[in-house]
Structure 1
Amino acid sequence: GATVRAVRAWALPTVFTYSPGSMALADEAGGLEQYERKALGEALAPWRERFPDVPVVEHVEMGSAGQVLLAVSADAQLMVVGRRARRTAVGARIGSVAHGVLHHAECPVAVVPHR
């Protein structure tokens, strides 16, 4: 019965990624945030189909993933972050975002492996 808040953090592309002309086109089209919103909606689509009764609020914010997640953790009852399910020679590892959230979030955290 809980509402899920799906969070997508994004940053401006580096100067090596886009030319000034392409950034001008993006600005004329309303900015880059609309593309990030679309990407989040596409990522959520299969889950919304599978679980249509679960209410989902989409949250798109510019900033580093760790900073954005920590900022929204104050209002959360549980934060779920993913980690790639790869094994290395020294065992399973988590990334910097999951590590930071585990240590600094203001709510309980679940780290879930995925492929």
Structure 2
Amino acid sequence: VVGIDADTAEAALGFGLREARRTGRSLRVVHAWRVTAPVAARPVALLEDASSTDEQSARLVLGEAEREAARREPAVSVRSTLWEGDAGEALAAAGVEATLVVVGRRHRTTIGGELFGSVAREMMHRSATPVVVVPVSA
């Protein structure tokens, strides 16, 4: 399982594809998304538009990862999952049936992860499946 987001997808996907090819396994790419507008800040009609826009954006990120995977490793079978909600929950759920969970790490410091949250750290604490954290190159 590879967690995909717009900032860390390239590094995590590359590692996951190489590992899938090396082991002869398939790859599942997972992208989680949330509505970016706070519920109380918008009328319902506008919130529905925000949700639709956020979902479309998430589908674009996931679609790009699928195309990149097919380009890099055409022999690796790739399936994808779009998850509305928390990225840690999505990866933990997908990781139950996996042999490895791969996530990228965009924060270069502990403080960055503390301030903005860290899916990688969350996965290391909650996953029963081995987790690989791939740093994004500078």
TM-score by length of 2: 0.63
Q: Which has the higher helix share?
A: 2
Identify unmatched segments of 5+ residues in structure 1: none
The alignment status of 1:2 with 2:28, answered yes or no, reads no
Q: Aligned partners of 1:54 and 1:92: how far apart in 2?
A: 34
- Post-superposition shift, 1:76? 1.0
Number of equivalent positions = 110
SS across alignment from 2:96: helix
Q: Aligned partners of 1:31 and 1:25: how far apart in 2?
A: 6
The equivalences for 1:86-101 within 5 A come to 86=108, 88=109, 96-101=118-123
- Post-superposition shift, 1:73? 1.5
Deviation by residue 1:59-114 (Cα, 9 ceiling, x = unmatched): 0011111111112121111000110263x4x7996852111100111211111111
Q: Aligned partners of 1:85 and 1:62: how far apart in 2?
A: 23
TM-score by length of 1: 0.74
Residue number in structure 2 paired with 1:80 = 102
SS across alignment from 1:75: coil
Q: Aligned partners of 1:40 and 1:53: how far apart in 2?
A: 19
Q: Aligned partners of 1:31 and 1:114: how far apart in 2?
A: 27
Q: Taking structure 1 as reference, are residues 19 and 80 closer, same or farther at Cα in structure 2, changes over 3 Å only?
A: same
- Post-superposition shift, 1:19? 5.7
Q: Aligned partners of 2:47 and 2:129: how far apart in 1?
A: 38
Residue number among 78, 84, 104 corresponding to 1:56 in the alignment: 78
**Bigger Rg, structure 1 or 2:** 1
Residue number among 46, 54, 59 corresponding to 2:68 in the alignment: 46
The alignment status of 1:104 with 2:120, answered yes or no, reads no
Residue number in structure 2 paired with 1:11 = 34
Q: Which has the higher strand share?
A: 1
Q: Aligned partners of 1:53 and 1:114: how far apart in 2?
A: 25
